[in-house]
Amino acid sequence: MNQASNSLPSNEVCFNIGPKERQKRLIIGIVGIAAGTIAFVLMRAAVAPWWANLALLPIFFAGASGLIQWREKTCVAFARRGVRNLDSGIEAIEDEAEKQALNERAAKISMKSFAFGALATAFAVFLSVI
């Protein structure tokens, strides 16, 4: 099966963020996970009701999203916009196959981030009821 000259081979990986952008996401990820953990500890100390832990979901989601974007070298928002920033400024991605590959990776990142956020929140709820 021949591929068009502008499409990516299935084993080629493309990225849309460079080292500086990755560092931003790493910091967001670490701060997000730390903030969620600290918030949980504070709620535990304040003997907050179990359902108060549900507020941790967006915090853990944001932290997980930052860490996963850092690891995958892919910004979800940039992928949706069809752009990249490899540390030389934002530029449009012209290759449709590359855009598609980045959008698919971004969707997986979002699903993984939500799954982590939901599991971490469920764990916090479990710990608050035992």
Q: CA end-to-end span of the chain, whole Å?
A: 57
The DSSP code sequence of 36-103 is: HHHHHHHHHHTT--GGGGGGGHHHHHHHHHHHHHHHHT--HHHHHHTEEESSS-EEE---HHHHHHHH
- From residue 17, alpha-carbon distances to 12, 83, 109, 115, 122 in Å are 16, 9, 14, 23, 32
pLDDT of residue 13: 64
pLDDT of residue 14: 86
User: How do residues 36-52 score in pLDDT, each as one tens digit?
Assistant: 999 999 999 999 999 99
User: How do residues 59-92 score in pLDDT, each as one tens digit?
Assistant: 999 999 999 999 999 999 999 999 999 999 999 9
pLDDT of residue 12: 56
User: How do residues 91-126 score in pLDDT, each as one tens digit?
Assistant: 999 999 999 999 999 999 999 999 999 999 999 999
Q: Is the pLDDT of residue 19 over 50?
A: yes
